[in-house]
């Protein structure tokens, strides 16, 4: 049984839920500098924070102390790393701390499950890559959408040649702003979060690579930063480009919404895959007419609506459950000696693309992508 610790009880609560439900792991410890978060399982929720994760826990569990569940509590990462009973650390700290703290986790001989992005600057990642090079531990990156059942359905259809050769990928993400309750408001500052492109669009670069099975060749990005004065980075980004070996892609990402919508399309020579994901059952964007959380439709080229195959998904297609299930998948990968769903390379390449997009927006021109990735174990 793998003994896991979660450092950072914000989004880290979804990691805790995963370890509590994993047949391969035991939640051994939690760590957070904020005392109320350490006092009870629902301590973070009592502050009005991360309430979207509440459904991952039975209500009766929220008032219990972590110690009552046999989970140790720590204030500092150093205490976790000094605990010989901890085999695996989920690192859910602010983005800019990921490379340095991730390196310490590996140097302490622990497996590392790292929240995205792996850093906010490529130069900051050198200690992490060096630690991975020296370590024989597994590193996984928390790109949970790779395990979303709707995304897996798309992937399966592509692999089964249901739409022919995929030629184009598009993703449109419409949502409200990032949360303003982060300690020290770190997410609102480019210096600490990397901005929209690094903090969240990295997900979509990774998803494009995953579904198309190709690396990006070039990109062009335009952004606008005029909506939220308390955020010092882009609020909207439009990015498009080409894939190596052929194919085109487009990503639209906006933090200016009043609802949540994630639309993915993959166009093949024989047909098209369309996927819609929602955050909750009710959405103003469809007039509240649908109750699904995820939907995948597969139709033939130039077909009719009634020709499409449609699959609907419930809450298993929501991000909180995706994060929880990605944690379980990572523990299974360690237990069975399999590769993680998203590797350190995936994390590095998506960071490269996010930073290149930022540079494209700044310079006002299309740029060619050439990765500097070198496998730590090459």
Beta strands in the chain (DSSP E): 2-7, 25-31, 72-74, 88-91, 111-114, 139-141, 166-174, 216-224, 236-243, 248-254, 261-268, 271-277, 294-300, 309-313, 367-368
Q: Give the Å distances, CA to CA, from 210 to 20, 215, 253, 346, 356.
A: 28, 9, 18, 9, 19
pLDDT confidence of residue 377: 56
Do residues 336 and 138 touch, judged by C-beta distance below 8 A? no
Q: What residues have CB less than 8 Å from 184, skipping those under 6 apart? A: 94
Residue with tokens 């990691």: 15
Q: What is the pLDDT of residue 185?
A: 94
Cis peptide before 202 (omega within 30 of 0): no
CA 316 to CA 320: how far, in whole Å? Answer: 9
* Spatial distance between the Cα atoms of 166 and 164, rounded to a whole number of angstroms: 6
- Taking the C-alpha atoms of residue 34 and residue 363, their distance in angstroms, rounded to an integer, is 41
Structure tokens given for 215: 């690396």
Domains along the chain? 2-142 (3.40.50.720), 145-321+353-362 (3.30.360.10)
Mean pLDDT by 10 residues, the chain (378 residues): 97 98 98 96 94 96 97 98 98 98 98 98 97 97 98 98 98 96 93 98 98 98 97 98 98 97 98 97 95 98 96 98 98 98 98 98 98 77
What pLDDT shows up at residue 52? 95
pLDDT at 374: 85
Sheet holding 216-224, edge to edge: 309-313, 294-300, 271-277, 261-268, 166-174, 248-254, 236-243, 216-224, 367-368
């Amino acid at each position: 049984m793998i003994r896991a610790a979660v450092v950072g009880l914000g989004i880290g609560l979804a990691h805790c839920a995963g370890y509590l439900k994993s047949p391969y792991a035991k939640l051994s410890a939690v760590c957070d500098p904020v005392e109320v978060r350490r006092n009870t399982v629902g301590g973070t929720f009592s502050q009005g924070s991360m309430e979207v994760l509440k459904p991952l826990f039975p209500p009766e569990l929220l008032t219990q102390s972590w110690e009552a569940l046999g989970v140790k509590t720590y204030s500092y990462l150093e205490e976790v790393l000094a605990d010989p009973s901890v085999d695996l650390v989920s690192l859910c700290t602010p983005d800019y701390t990921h490379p340095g703290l991730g390196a310490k986790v590996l140097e302490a001989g622990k497996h590392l499950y790292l929240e995205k992005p792996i850093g906010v600057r490529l130069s900051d990642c050198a200690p992490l890559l060096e630690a991975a090079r020296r370590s024989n531990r597994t590193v996984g990156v928390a790109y949970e959408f790779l395990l979303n059942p709707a995304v897996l359905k798309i992937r399966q259809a592509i692999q089964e040649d249901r739409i022919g050769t995929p030629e184009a990928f598009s993703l449109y993400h419409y949502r409200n702003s990032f949360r303003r309750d982060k300690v020290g408001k770190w997410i609102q500052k480019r210096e600490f979060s990397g901005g929209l492109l690094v903090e969240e669009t990295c997900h979509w670069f990774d998803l494009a690579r995953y579904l198309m099975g190709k690396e990006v060749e070039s990109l062009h990005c335009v952004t606008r930063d005029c909506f939220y004065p308390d955020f010092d980075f882009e609020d909207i980004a439009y990015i498009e480009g080409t894939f190596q070996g052929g194919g085109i892609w487009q990503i639209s990402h906006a933090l200016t919404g009043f609802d949540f919508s994630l639309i993915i399309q993959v166009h093949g020579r024989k047909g098209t895959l369309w996927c819609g994901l929602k955050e909750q059952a009710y959405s103003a964007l469809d007039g509240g007419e649908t109750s699904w959380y995820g939907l995948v439709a597969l139709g033939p080229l130039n077909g009719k609506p009634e020709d499409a195959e449609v699959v609907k998904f419930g809450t298993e297609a929501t991000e909180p459950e995706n994060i929880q299930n990605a944690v379980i998948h990572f523990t299974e990968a360690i237990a069975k000696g399999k590769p993680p769903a998203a590797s350190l390379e995936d994390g590095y390449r998506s960071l490269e693309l996010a930073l290149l997009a930022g540079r494209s927006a700044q310079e006002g021109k299309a740029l060619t992508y050439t990765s500097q990735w070198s496998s730590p174990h090459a």
